[in-house]
A and B are shown apart, each in its own frame.
Chain A
Amino acid sequence: MNAVEFNNITKSFGQLTVNDKVTFAVEENTVHCLLGENGAGKSTLMKILFGSYHQDEGTIKIRGKEVKFKSPLDAIDEKIGMLYQHFMLIDDFTIWENVVLGNELSSFGKLDYKKIKARLNEIIEQYNLGLDINKKICDISISQEQKVELLKLLYRNSEILIFDEPTAVLSPVEVKEFFKIIEKFKADGKTIIFITHKLNEVKELADKVSILRKGQLVYETSKENIDVQRLGNEIIGNVEITECPAKSHPNEDNRKYFIELKDVTLIKNKVKVLDDISFDIKRYEIHGICGVEGNGQQELVDVILQFEKSFSGSVMMKDERVSIVPDDRYKRGMIKEFTIGENILLKKKNTGFISKYMVDSTSQYIMKKYDVRAPSAETPLGSLSGGNQQKAIIAREIEMQQNTMIFYHPTRGVDINAMAFIHSEIVSLRNGGKAILLISSDLDELLKLSDRLSVMHKGRLINTFTESELVTENKNNLVEEIGKLMIGIH
């Protein structure tokens, strides 16, 4: 029996077709992996299944019955649940408020806290989630937040579960824990649609795999025939990927320190968000910082950029200005109403007049030099694709020509092409003598680029791997060790 059947689903936004006649089925009680690049149409397809979007054409069948969802409420009624990539949680609400919202247990409009508490604690115990339902979301960790999202699904008795890149925010150890929960779901007869980028996870979990590329279903296979190499090729298609240049090795004397932090401690709301941090960034070096999000990375950046001044300890910098590619490009990276040229001129240290000619020629120069694809020099940066936006931001920072650069989640949410381009730019910058701080939670990226790698946990740098330690035959052991460090086991 098929839990879900997609028949010829087509969906367009304006000129752009995001789903193009997608047809496939998800069998009941299986883990079905859905793969594809960013922008391949996975999330859109899932939002259609969940009733957030409506398809232009095609039909969806749930357990053999054709459905037309007007809103997520209808999908929830059909026992479909969605674990979003960006959590849908209300920070100022308690766990229980977040979970029951929309399906409240109540009598005559009054919330029945006793019933709610009993019900939630029962589920928490059954799945061993270890949550305190009276805690507020702003006071719990990211992996706990994910468990709250799971609790929401379980509370609604969801049988078909959609997981949108659930492991992206987890450390390797937490991923293992998460997979155990999935096993339990499967044992309970639930169906799971699992969206991911990580092919090793597919190998471990999938009963069946479907791959979307540019909105179309291009490949399907089942457990027995999974070939990771093949999957990778199908996801990308026939495109040329920018090659990453090899790292050059200048002599040691050139590697002067550009930034040096000594015993930096920062206390915010009585919590030590940075705890006795000492480290440095040198020329011709990429210093990677790895850690689960929210372990002090943002605060570290704020200290280096001098946004945060109430810390103890010392920060020594060779140059006053530091380039930064921020983690969230919408919130911190750009003025999306401005064009490429305007975004760049805004950061340049020239004062005075800015003419239309200056703006347009700067846009064109950047578009050409960094292969930023935009309909015209006058298009607002906000209407470009994520990858092109990120390229433009990185271009801006390179054009600033600072000696020290911070890359904070530089490839988040960009497609493989843009990712390769960005990686090669970072390495070229390093080879050109820049001192680079790379903060990421993507271990593959960090291991590929870093010359030194520090692990951050609860505001502390708990270990630093040197260049020689990183170049090892036994990658798996290294990954496992770093994974443990990321959640504080050492």
Chain B
Amino acid sequence: MELFKTILTVAFLTQVFRLMTPYYLGASAANFSERGGVINIAIEGFMILSAFSFAMFSIITHNTWLSVFLAIVINLVFALLYSLFTVKLKINQIVTGVGFNILIAGLTKFLMMIIFHSSSNTERFEGIQDNEFIAKIPVIGDILSDYIVLFAIILIFISNFVLFKTTFGLRLRSVGENPEAAESLGIKVHHYKIYGILISGFLASLAGIWLASEQKSFSDGMIAGRGYIALAAMIIGKWKPINIFFASLIFAFFEALQISIQISGTPIPSQIIQMLPYLITILVLVGLIGKTKPPAADGVPY
């Protein structure tokens, strides 16, 4: 009953919307890549990479927006590398994704030792400040004053528009559905696949940046599988931006719930609460009605 009251508060809803952000950004990132026919399980790695590089640059430069910019650039470089492997060299996308995740996890651990002489976490930094003007708006101001949360919410409409109402979206989707047909009409298949992956890298970088900025530091293991949960959100959302948004909200809801339970102090052991997001991911995937249908040429190198 206590818990029920907590859930109904504005603070709780705010929390849900905020926690939705990395899931939704990550899931949209995966979606843009998969709509172009490239499975991207390196989302997890991309999120780790951008969280780390944002933290690193913030601590070194003390300039938040410059750090955001640099973190995005680094992610784009890795996304380009990912497209070199999966699109140009046509290497198995899942294997490549696993390789990227292992490399990035190792690289950040190594750099942490070199730069911060710690294997667990960096020192603290300021993070992105909320927009003061928006923050003054009652109720929603609390949610929307965070630039990245604001962007994530606008992104629902942007990605829907881009994917379904523009020339670019039509071509990107055609490449993911039937690259041979797309090519027969003169569409440069590889270019569009690469565009999809770059957008993916960009969106994933925002997810990582947000997480690091929230925590005001980077720590080993902080992404904690959110990239993979984002992939699940994409599948549950059936590759449609609006559905993905609701799927992300579900995961955010349970994460917020988990935090509330932990704070309120319950007899449920903490380990069990911690495994909730992952358990729920599986349960939701299993509970899906009917089989899921990815883009027809998803995962097939061309």
Contacts and interface: CB of A to CB of B under 8 A. Distances in A.
Q: Do chains A and B touch in the complex (CB under 8 A)?
A: yes
Interface of A: 52, 71-74, 76, 82, 84, 88-93, 97-98, 100-104, 106, 109-111, 152
A93 B177 contact: yes
Nearest to B293: A92
Given A91-B177, A92-B177, A101 B166 contact: no
Interface pairs A-B: 3 shortest CB-CB:
A73-B186, A102-B185, A88-B181
A152 B182 CA distance: 12
Interface in B9-58: none
Contacts of A84: 184
B132 interface: no
Nearest to A72: B186
B296 A92 contact: yes
A101 B187 contact: yes
A74 B183 CA distance: 12
B186 A111 contact: no
Contact of A88 (B165, B168, B170, B178): B178
Contact of B178 (A52, A91, A111): A91
B174 interface: yes
Contacts, number: 70
Of the candidates B168, B186, B187, the one having the most CB atoms from chain A within 10 angstroms of its own CB is B186
Nearest to B164: A111
Q: Name the prevailing secondary structure of the B interface residues.
A: helix
A64 to B, nearest CB: 24
A52 B182 CA distance: 12
Interface string B161-181: 000011110110110011011
A100 B185 CA distance: 9
11 contacts: A72-B184, A72-B185, A73-B186, A76-B185, A88-B178, A88-B185, A90-B296, A93-B173, A101-B174, A102-B186, A110-B167
Contacts of A98: 181
B184 A82 contact: yes
Contacts of A103: 185
A104 B170 CA distance: 9
B166 A106 contact: yes
A89 B181 contact: yes
A84 B168 CA distance: 25
Contact of A110 (B165, B178, B183, B295): B165
Interface in B205-250: none
Contacts of B183: 52, 71-72
Contacts of B186: 71-74, 76, 102
A90 B165 contact: no
Interface string B272-298: 000000000000000000000001100
B166 A109 contact: yes
Contacts of B170: 97, 100-101, 104, 111
Contacts of B166: 106, 109-111
B208 to A, nearest CB: 29
Contacts of B168: 109
Contacts of A91: 177-178, 296
A88 B296 contact: no
Contacts of A52: 183-184
Contacts of B177: 90-93
A72 B295 CA distance: 24
B181 A106 contact: no
B292 to A, nearest CB: 14
A113 to B, nearest CB: 9
A88 B184 contact: yes
Scoring B178, B183, B295 by chain A CB atoms within 10 A of each residue's CB, the highest score goes to B178
Contacts of B296: 90-92
A70 to B, nearest CB: 10
Which of A52, A92, A102, A109: most chain B CB closer than 10 A? A102
Nearest to A105: B167
A152 B181 CA distance: 12
Given A72-B186, A76-B185, A102 B178 contact: no
A98 B171 CA distance: 10
